[in-house]
Structure 1
Amino acid sequence: MALQDVRRNDRYDTNWRAGVAAVGAGRWGEAERGFQRAVQASPGAHAAWLYLARAQLQLGKLDSAVAAARRALALKAGDAVAAMLLGECLTHRHRHAEAAEVLEAALAANPATPELLSALGSALLLAQRPQDAITRLIQASMLSPADALLHYRLGLAFKRLGAESQAAICFRTALSVDHDGAIAPLALPLLVSSSQQSCDWSELERDGAALLALLDVASVERGGEISPFSLLSLPSSRAQQRHAGALHTRHLLQGLRPSLPPPGPRRPGRVRVGYLSSDFHNHATALLMVGLLECRDRERFEVFAYTHSAPDGSPLQQRLLAACDQVVDVARLSDTEVAERMRRDGVDIGVDLKGHTRGTRMTVFAQRPAPVQVSFLGYPGSTGADYLDYVIGDPVVTPLAHAADYSECIAQMPHCYQPNDHRRALPPAPPRAELGLPEDALVLCCFNQSYKITPEVLALWARVLHELPQAVLWLLAWNADGQRRLLAALEALGIGAERVVFAERLPVDQHIARLRAADLFLDTWPYNAHTTASESLWAAVPVLTVPGETFASRVAASLVAACGLPELACADAEDYVRTAVELGRSPERLQALRCHLDARRAGLPLFDTERYTRDYEALLLRMHERRLQGLAPAALPAA
């Protein structure tokens, strides 16, 4: 062997060992440097390229990680480990379809590798191919039936298809083989969710208690994966919800590189507001936001939409994006790149519209792209994120007395926190016969998703129906299993199936039209109707609710108060039943409520979008002015 080759091998060995030692110590920057020198000394070293890709992935250097993993795969075509690492890097780059292609190709050389099939199934799910994901994950589970992660991923795929009962079976199976408890923080919240969606309450109390017990002993490392959203429909406290948010937020930040440097001096000009969301399409958030964006003061505010939404070509999406000064597609950018882009754009106030909901990219704000950062609209509760300065609420949903249970400072709108679009359609109601409703019945409706309906609320509805024999219950058809179980539960409470009418999901304009055929909306708790309730009120259908102690359980009370009908927020469950029965027996009172909503709609605070926008902008300016004065964020009571 030539002396030059010996020296090259020595350089490789020295740097390889240094890189491996740095990995063991968690010093990823040092590891990257070691492996870079190793591959320079020996460009054909497959393992060094793999380790280099892993180090760069840990450092958030995603493009470099993709290139290194691709080089490793080129050196050893068909290698399952290299393919899975490249797929992981591409997934972090939000290139899910490409990740699936890489893994599919590797599968040809490794047809019976459960880890590869599992990774492929996960990539297919992220690429919006849930049926293909199910096929691959079932193949993997047959090869590795005791793999809890596989069953969890299979549950995710069924859930994405809306097959909630099958999803619940998979999540429960995952828990049964989860011998070290690693999957429980992921699977248990989704088991609760799928059980609620399919109205399978047989073990819900036990599963919900197990979830809350798991939260009590959870840490960032073990349990930080618990979805805070799953607590909103359970009898959880504000403190528990904040705790779950804080754990989950810190869990997501593990391995994230530090914040950006402090911003320089503010440039002159309009206040720049940057909204980050995946819901800038035909979605409830867009329905609520569009009027606010259109009515804004364009001389004082410049709006940036940072969107990772799928383009759907809907009139709503076109209208919303047209109302923004700049639209930035960040779907293919890493969180760090999004933060850097917001910083370059000079955003003064960054607004997260997702919180702990599907598609969130909250961690963008962990890097402090904006001097003021706000949680708004998308998540009804405290995110637990110490990098979000404010949560926008109102005196009903976020009374200042609740401040200790919010990581954010409470910023109150004077009426309701929820914006609404005063330009939304208000078509006439179709004949009841077309909707499957009896012409002369009292129609009590609830168009909430089934996961918000609890056995306790259903029992109250049954009591109301017993007292009002002329009434029918009009519900949203969410899934067949849920409908079947709900009818069986009502039957056990003495209410026959003929008293229940299910309505299919419709586009929002048609939905609002049919809402006008209802007489009274019966709300749920602890997770109220939110957008669904404001749609009902827009259609002049009164909403009866019971406010609880959490944000999610107080929204409907805020909505009815902003319509001048605070009496529709009942004191407790007994008051709810009593009021529903009294209204059902008094057509005159119901008609008066409807007339109030119909005649005064444009002037009600809930639907006066111009007034809402001025109040909202004034609140943003209060936040901005504190920052300019060098003051820390603080509670901002309703003005």
Structure 2
Amino acid sequence: MGAPDQERRQLREAVQRQPSDFIAWVMLADAELEAGDVARGAAAATQALQLRDDHPEALARLGRARWMQGQPGDAAVLLRRAAEQVPQHPGIALWLGHALEDAGQPEAAADAYRHAHRLLPGEPYITAQLLNWQRRLCDWRDLDRLSALVRRAVAQGQAVVEPFAFLSEDASATEQLTCARQRAAAIGTDLPALPPTTVRDHGRLRVGFLSNGFGAHPTGLLTVALFEQLALADRLDLHLFALNGDDGSDIRVRLQAAASVLHEVGGQP
């Protein structure tokens, strides 16, 4: 059992022993959400709110859970309530920005990221989020300084800058590759090692693709023809693992038809 799993088990035992321990419930909500168990995380945050109604730390965890459950509007309401109580909390401001972004409120999201950046000006992840949204909104205020901070973070090996956001920067191909490699390596350290395997030399090869964009989304639009051609070749047992739900779009229907199996896995830890 890894350290994070052991921590979750210990926190679950702690709240069973002392169900009135507000801090333990908040910590458990954090641990469950970090592990991707959104339902348990939301339940722990709800229990914390029952102990201390409208407490910002519990509101923030429940808001984060609602965002992870694909309910950005509800998440934004909860996170804004939390942020109003603790305006000097950069983490809550950052989560609020994420929720507002997905709720279709880009200007408000940029404002939340800007506030988080004022609170933590040396945190490159927050700086990169703000920079990305200011570019999207054609907001050129302080852009050169923000860009320099983000590029410096990549040069210094800080693997917190999202490669998709960094694509908007006037960076060299080498810088772009460095950013992507750093982020991939950071994600890879959190994944368990795969067991050794061999590729079979006969029959159809089973291949899986995982995405949160299998639908009317840039990923779906750009890949559906590829998957249809792969299906026509009849050399692959093609599995698509969709982190997003069925949006009822024509693209989703085509993806479903092209895949051997389309798995809906968005609700899983």
TM-score w.r.t. length of structure 1? 0.39
| In 2: Cα distance, 1:299 partner to 1:248 partner | 34
Residues 142/291 of structure 1: CA separation in 2 closer, same or farther (3 Å cut): closer
| In 2: Cα distance, 1:273 partner to 1:135 partner | 40
| CA shift digits 1:511-563 (9 cap, x unpaired) | xxxxxxxxxxxxxxxxxxxxxxxxxxxxxxxxxxxxxxxxxxxxxxxxxxxxx
Letter in 2 for 1:202: R
Residues 55/285 of structure 1: CA separation in 2 closer, same or farther (3 Å cut): closer
Letter in 2 for 1:256: L
* Cα displacement (A) at 1:141: 2.7
| In 1: Cα distance, 2:74 partner to 2:265 partner | 27
* Cα displacement (A) at 1:89: 4.4
Q: Provide the secondary structure at the position in 1 that maps to 2:263.
A: strand
| In 1: Cα distance, 2:226 partner to 2:165 partner | 29
Residues 148/287 of structure 1: CA separation in 2 closer, same or farther (3 Å cut): closer
| CA shift digits 1:5-62 (9 cap, x unpaired) | xxxxxxxxxxxxxxxxxxxxxxx75xx7xxxxxxxxxxxxxxxxxxxxx4436xxxxx
* Cα displacement (A) at 1:299: 4.0
Mark the runs of 5 or more structure 1 residues left unpaired by the alignment: 1-27, 33-53, 58-64, 335-639
Confirm whether residue 284 of structure 1 aligns to residue 218 of structure 2.
yes
| In 2: Cα distance, 1:131 partner to 1:325 partner | 34
| In 2: Cα distance, 1:332 partner to 1:161 partner | 19
Residue in 2 that maps onto 1:236: 171
Letter in 1 for 2:184: T
Residues 267/150 of structure 1: CA separation in 2 closer, same or farther (3 Å cut): same
Letter in 1 for 2:186: H
Residue in 1 that maps onto 2:49: 107
* Cα displacement (A) at 1:147: 1.7
8 Å Cα contact 1:293-1:320 kept in structure 2: yes
Letter in 2 for 1:227: E
Residue in 2 that maps onto 1:132: 74
| CA shift digits 1:360-409 (9 cap, x unpaired) | xxxxxxxxxxxxxxxxxxxxxxxxxxxxxxxxxxxxxxxxxxxxxxxxxx
Residue in 2 that maps onto 1:272: 206
Residues 287/248 of structure 1: CA separation in 2 closer, same or farther (3 Å cut): closer
| CA shift digits 1:560-581 (9 cap, x unpaired) | xxxxxxxxxxxxxxxxxxxxxx
Residue in 2 that maps onto 1:170: 112
| CA shift digits 1:189-220 (9 cap, x unpaired) | 11112212222112222222222123222x3x
Letter in 2 for 1:210: L
For the aligned residues, what is the CA RMSD? 2.7
* Cα displacement (A) at 1:112: 5.5
| In 1: Cα distance, 2:71 partner to 2:238 partner | 34
Confirm whether residue 304 of structure 1 aligns to residue 245 of structure 2.
no
Q: Provide the secondary structure at the position in 2 that maps to 1:287.
A: helix
Letter in 1 for 2:133: S
| CA shift digits 1:483-521 (9 cap, x unpaired) | xxxxxxxxxxxxxxxxxxxxxxxxxxxxxxxxxxxxxxx
Pick the structure with more helix per residue. 2
Letter in 1 for 2:89: D
Residue in 2 that maps onto 1:199: 138
1:609-628 superposed matches below 5 A: none
| In 2: Cα distance, 1:306 partner to 1:94 partner | 16
8 Å Cα contact 2:239-2:263 kept in structure 1: yes
* Cα displacement (A) at 1:110: 1.9
Q: Provide the secondary structure at the position in 2 that maps to 1:260.
A: coil
Residues 122/268 of structure 1: CA separation in 2 closer, same or farther (3 Å cut): same
Letter in 2 for 1:306: F
Residues 213/73 of structure 1: CA separation in 2 closer, same or farther (3 Å cut): same
Letter in 2 for 1:109: L
| In 2: Cα distance, 1:300 partner to 1:135 partner | 48
Letter in 2 for 1:225: V
Match among 48, 53, 56 for residue 6 of structure 2: 56
Confirm whether residue 122 of structure 1 aligns to residue 64 of structure 2.
yes
8 Å Cα contact 1:185-1:224 kept in structure 2: no
* Cα displacement (A) at 1:332: 4.3
Q: Provide the secondary structure at the position in 2 that maps to 1:262.
A: coil
Letter in 2 for 1:135: V
8 Å Cα contact 2:220-2:252 kept in structure 1: yes
Residues 214/294 of structure 1: CA separation in 2 closer, same or farther (3 Å cut): closer
| In 2: Cα distance, 1:265 partner to 1:159 partner | 41
Residues 291/141 of structure 1: CA separation in 2 closer, same or farther (3 Å cut): closer
Instruction: Provide the aligned length of Structure 1 versus Structure 2.
Output: 268
State the percentage of identical aligned residues: 28
Q: Provide the secondary structure at the position in 2 that maps to 1:266.
A: coil
Residue in 1 that maps onto 2:227: 293
1:223-372 superposed matches below 5 A: 223-257=158-192, 259-264=193-198, 266=200, 268-296=202-230, 297-333=232-268
* Cα displacement (A) at 1:120: 2.1
| In 1: Cα distance, 2:23 partner to 2:256 partner | 42
8 Å Cα contact 1:276-1:305 kept in structure 2: yes
| In 2: Cα distance, 1:240 partner to 1:109 partner | 49
Q: Provide the secondary structure at the position in 1 that maps to 2:239.
A: strand
